[in-house]
Structures are given as structure tokens and as C-alpha cells.
Amino acid sequence: MNYASYPTIAHASRGGSFFMTLAAIAASLLSFYSLLIWLRIVISWVRIAENPLTHWLGRIVDPYLELFRPIKALRRERFDLTPLLALALLSVLQSMLRLYGTYGRLTVGMVLALVLETLWSYLVSPFFWLLLILLGVRLYFCYRPSVQTITYIAMLDALIGGFLNWVQRILYPGRAINDRRLVTTALIFTLILYLTSSALIKALVTLASRLGF
């Protein structure tokens, strides 16, 4: 979190040093806990065999991660984004504690800015990048068609086929276009949408951080 985004609190009261110190310690503990979650995620990706380290790591972080498992909107057959939401929540709490530990106060605007920035960093931006990568690979296969790539194209279409259909309905309503043009258009459209959303989020974060309440 960039604390320079909060210029209005640079001269806030320094009272309550005990609670400020307590908040700073809690923020550090949450930062360490987030690191353990990332370690758990990496271990699950590389499928390291069960050992005392992975066992105790699971006992520490899995109960928290399980709280987010029921959110089906973030879970797909090959992807589970619920850990990112879990990390995003920890990031918001950690940043709130760190801000209070530094300045001795919090405002509604500061909290709103934290939520917006964290949701963008942990959920929205990664989603855009994942979509851009998948579309880029899909476009590559459009230029390199072969018997082997048909399987990969089918796998990609299972993930982004709905988005491609949506782009066609929005930009080419009632028209038939070739596969290569559709994927290229979807890639450019996604990039423009990403840049526009990024600029909008930055403007909203700056505006929220300057609220005086």
C-alpha cells in the first residue's frame, strides 16, 4: 500500500501510542500469515509430498482458506481464485492496521481506498492478465493450426469461449466473422478495457483517499 496516497493525514494526532504499536504488531503478524498462505498455494501447485512442514502449514492456514471455498463464482474446474479473495481481505486488514499504527487514525475514505485498491490488485487485475494470456495463446494457435493444437484450442475455448461469444455479440451483432479476427478483436478489446479500468480505479482511489471523513 502506498501511504503517499493519503496526504490529508500526514499531521494526524500521535496520541494513543499503545494502540498504534499494537496495530503495527498485528499488521506484521497478518503479513507473516499472508506469506504462509502464499507458501501453501505454491506447495499445492508443485504437489510436494506430505511432510511435517506441509502438515502443520495446512493446519495453520487451511481453516481460514476453507471459509472462502463456498464462493462458487470464484471456483472453476481448473481454477480456484478463492485464495486470492482470502489474501485480499487480509491485505485490507493489514493495510488498515498499518495506517492506524502510522498515523493514529482511520477515515471512511481511507478504508474505501484500501478496499478498491486491494480488490483491483488481488482479483480484477489478475483476472484481466489471465484472460489476456489465454487470448494470446489462443491467437497463437489460430496462426499455427495443426492436429495437435485442436485439443488445446478446445481446452481454451472451454475457458474463454463464453467471453469470445460475448465480444462477438457486442462488437459484431448478427455478423459471421472468422476465428482469427474474433480472437484478435477480443484481445485488443480486453487490453483497452484493462487500461481503462486501471485508470478509473486509480482515480477513484485518489478521490476516496482525499475524503475528510
What's the pLDDT band for 82 if we cut at 50, 70, 90? confident
pLDDT given for residue 75 in this prediction: 72
DSSP string covering 130-184:
HHHHHHHHHHHHHHS--HHHHHHHHHHHHHHHHHHHHHHHHHSTT----HHHHHH
Given a cut of 60, whether residue 100 has pLDDT beyond it is: yes
Q: What's the grid cell of residue 11?
A: 499531521
From CA 194, how far away is CA 182, in angstroms rounded?
18
Q: Where are the domains positioned within the chain?
A: 1-106, 108-213
- For the chain, give the mean pLDDT: 82
Q: What's the grid cell of residue 27?
A: 499488521
pLDDT given for residue 134 in this prediction: 92
- This prediction has a pTM of 0.69
pLDDT given for residue 76 in this prediction: 66
What's the pLDDT band for 7 if we cut at 50, 70, 90? very low
Kindly tell me the burial class for residue 93, based on how many C-beta atoms sit within 10 Å of its own C-beta (0-12, 13-18, 19 or more): middle
Q: What's the grid cell of residue 33?
A: 500469515
